[in-house]
Amino acid sequence: MIDVLDELHWRGLVAQSTDEAALREALSNGPIAYYCGFDPTAPSLHHGHLVQLIVLSHLQRAGHRAVALVGGATGMIGDPRQSGERVLNTKETVAEWTGRLQAQISRFLDFEGDNPAVMVNNLDWIQGMSAIDFLRDVGKHYRLGTMLAKDTVARRLRSDEGISFTEFSYQILQGIDFLELFRRHGVTLQTGGNDQWGNLLSGVELVRRTEGEVVHVLTTPLITKADGTKFGKTEGGAVWLAPDMMSPYAFYQYWLNAADADVVSWLKIFTFRSREEIEDLAVAVRERPGAREAQRTLAADVTTLVHGQEATDAVIAASQALFGRGELAGLDATTLDAATAELPRVDVTVGTPVLDALVDSGLVPSRAAGRRAMADGGAYVNNVKVEAEDAVLQAQDLLHGRFVLLRRGKKTLAVAVAQ
């Protein structure tokens, strides 16, 4: 067996464990069964979940048996937040989101072959539990003082809004999951984010009290940026894994824009590159920072992991084509729309003078400046140099019948959208 715990440490993926020496021995004597839970409280997983999915994959690649849990039951309750009660989603919404998350998770684990992963939904064992069963068989093993002492619960109790019994009970439901998976699949390890430490321990204690067995928890640290700003923060919120919530192009650009101070640690965390490859890329960052080899490797690897090779190829082709190093006409409409989404936009019609489009888009400050740009050979429509001052946009200029890429010089872009 690969010493996967040492590998996770090297990659910066270990924050705490219940008993690291015992866990290391169990992993060495394995294979063991392990799980991580994902609640459908949104229609997509995000960058924080990506860390957990990669940990699951590392463990499976090391020969251990993966169980991925999507919380169709716990998703109807919601993990208590630091402040404020969650809005409870309808059963239909949670069911829909459960399906979406299951499809996303399936990309990261091998569900076939000699060591197939297992996908489960905790609604299967929680929805049939009566209130009497819950109180007699589970509730009697929990001590109120311990539950009240959990960090999030204690903070909420000190706040003006307090905490409902619904959210207070979440930690018990998560404990039930560990116990049920221990009984059904022999699971002895749960992984999760370090902010979930208290909830994860709930299952450890419940298994100990009901089965008399020792099980383990392993948490990942909160991923931060070197400059202290929050990792995964974008103008649109989280770095979502679903392409309909964050386009593959925008997703790729997020990783491509990683700072030199962050990129090596992110390569360790978010890719499966070997130590030797990452060390070579670290040298490239130090010696050839302008080439951004590490950033391009990171962006390509993570985008391929999440969206697949075909989407990554389309994104890279779009990035090159925008600046004249590829064929714009070969880009599909969705990728082109995503690639130009952050550019200045101007509405046009067939027959609009190119000079007007340049001015109205803000690429040039005035008509005189636009004429100078044309005369100097620095004005482009769809990467084709504009030679005539009186040129107009024509029907054949419309990419997918809608878009026209405008460029001044080498790097200043805008998009004209036909109405």
Q: pLDDT for 109-144, tens place per residue?
A: 999 989 999 999 999 999 999 999 999 999 999 888
> Cα separation of 359 and 370, whole Å?
7
Q: Indicate if the alpha-carbon torsion angle 49, 50, 51, 55 is positive or negative.
A: positive
> Cα separation of 57 and 2, whole Å?
13
Structure tokens at 71: 């919380």
Of the pLDDT bands very low, low, confident and very high (cuts 50, 70, 90), residue 151 is confident
Helices (H), 36-90: 47-61
Structure tokens at 197: 């430490």
The residue among 175 and 145 whose pLDDT is bigger is: 175
Gap between the terminal Cα atoms of the chain: 61
Whether the ω angle into residue 40 lies within 30 degrees of 0, i.e. cis, is: no
| Whether residue 42 has pLDDT greater than 60 | yes
Instruction: Please state, in angstroms and as integers, the Cα–Cα distance from residue 273 to each residue in 68, 266, 300, following that order.
Output: 23, 11, 12
> Cα separation of 319 and 254, whole Å?
13
What's the chain's average pLDDT?
91
Dihedral, CA of residue 197, residue 200, residue 201 and residue 206, to nearest 10: 170
Of the pLDDT bands very low, low, confident and very high (cuts 50, 70, 90), residue 2 is low
Percent over 90 (pLDDT), the chain: 66
Q: Which residues pair with 120 in a beta bridge?
A: 69
| Whether residue 82 has pLDDT greater than 80 | no
> Cα separation of 350 and 356, whole Å?
12
Query: Binding site annotation covers 380?
Result: no
Query: Binding site annotation covers 170?
Result: yes
What pLDDT does 198 receive?
87
Of the pLDDT bands very low, low, confident and very high (cuts 50, 70, 90), residue 106 is very high
The residue among 83 and 238 whose pLDDT is bigger is: 238
Give per-residue pLDDT as tens, 358-412. 999 999 999 999 899 999 898 999 889 998 889 989 999 899 888 999 999 888 8
> Cα separation of 20 and 217, whole Å?
9
> Cα separation of 207 and 185, whole Å?
13
> Cα separation of 16 and 218, whole Å?
6
What pLDDT does 58 receive?
97
What pLDDT does 236 receive?
61
Give per-residue pLDDT as tens, 182-237. 999 999 999 999 988 988 999 999 999 999 999 999 999 998 888 877 787 666 67
Query: Binding site annotation covers 268?
Result: no
- Give the distance from CA 152 to its chain's centroid: 24
What pLDDT does 152 receive?
83
Strands 118-121 and 187-193: unpaired
| Backbone φ, ψ for residue 103 (5° rounding) | -65, -40
What are the helix and strand counts (H, E) for the chain?
A: 19, 11
What pLDDT does 233 receive?
67
Of the pLDDT bands very low, low, confident and very high (cuts 50, 70, 90), residue 90 is very high
Give per-residue pLDDT as tens, 160-170. 888 888 888 88
**Residue 310, class by beta-carbon neighbours within 10 Å (0-12 exposed, 13-18 middle, 19+ buried)?**
exposed
Give the CB-side neighbour count of residue 387, counting CA atoms within 13 A.
0
Asked if residue 194 lies in contact with residue 15, where contact means CB atoms within 8 angstroms, the answer is yes
| Whether residue 250 has pLDDT greater than 70 | yes
| Whether residue 1 has pLDDT greater than 60 | no
212 torsion bin: left (phi>0), alpha (psi -120 to 50), beta (else): left
Strands 16-17 and 216-220: antiparallel
What pLDDT does 411 receive?
84
- Give the distance from CA 86 to its chain's centroid: 21
Q: Tell me what the mean pLDDT of segment 322-332 comes to.
A: 81
> Cα separation of 211 and 205, whole Å?
10
Asked if residue 80 lies in contact with residue 156, where contact means CB atoms within 8 angstroms, the answer is yes
